[in-house]
Homo-oligomer: A and B are copies of this chain.
Amino acid sequence: MSRRNEAVGLTRQRIVDAAVELHGSVGPAATTIAAIAETAGVTRLTVYRHFPDTDSIFAACSAHWMSQQIAPRPDVWAKIGDPLERLRCGLTDLYRFYRDAEQMLTLVRRDVEHVPAPIKAATIAREQGMRDVLLSAFRVRGPKRDRVGAVIGHALSFSTWRSLCVEQHLSQPVAVDAMVKLVEAVAAPAPRRRTA
């Protein structure tokens, strides 16, 4: 039961690796069973033997990819007391992750319709959790709290990182700085306009 199972596991791993590679290069929507099989160096039939449908491949693929990423750590951010410092720290950590995972995240977001519901839900929950950690440090109350939460959510979004760091060519620290300033300005207690 050892050498044989090992070989089987290896084949399975090659299939998952191939799926990860294709998801990250052509995107989940364009990833066909035939392409996975070819990339993995096995037959379509072998892929079907290991995974009944595309969704189960996606699940294994997603888990494996996640396991080899350095994920952001909201639990660590939570230890920082100062709201803006916590925010800066969190965004720096998150944007580092976004940078590492750019290709994959870009394509997965584009093909979000093809992502199985559980994975989508987990992603949303993770983002919600990060938002809560960052927002909870702020003392603002009332309707302004909603606005601060919203701009924090905006700062956390992958599309925001992409807009700032890829399309606008900002460096990561400058992008973080801009988003911190945004939250700071929205959270500021005295809006004092000169045109008042």
Within 8 A of B (CB), among A137-179: 147, 149-151, 153-154, 157, 159-160, 162-164, 167-170, 174, 178
A184 to B195, CA, bound (A): 14
List the number of copies, as a whole number.
Answer: 2
Q: A108 interface residue, CB < 8 Å from B? A: no
Which of B150, B162, B174, B178 meets A168, CB within 8 Å?
A: B150
**A174 to B147, Cβ gap below 8 A?**
yes
Q: How many A residues touch B, CB cutoff 8 Å?
A: 24
Q: A63 interface residue, CB < 8 Å from B? A: no
**B174 to A185, Cβ gap below 8 A?**
no
**A154 to B147, Cβ gap below 8 A?**
no
A30 to B189, CA, bound (A): 49
Which of B160, B162, B181, B186 meets A186, CB within 8 Å?
A: B181
Most buried by B among A164, A167, A178: A178
A168 to B147, CA, bound (A): 9
Instruction: For A149, list chain B residues within 8 Å (CB).
Output: 168
Q: A105 interface residue, CB < 8 Å from B? A: no
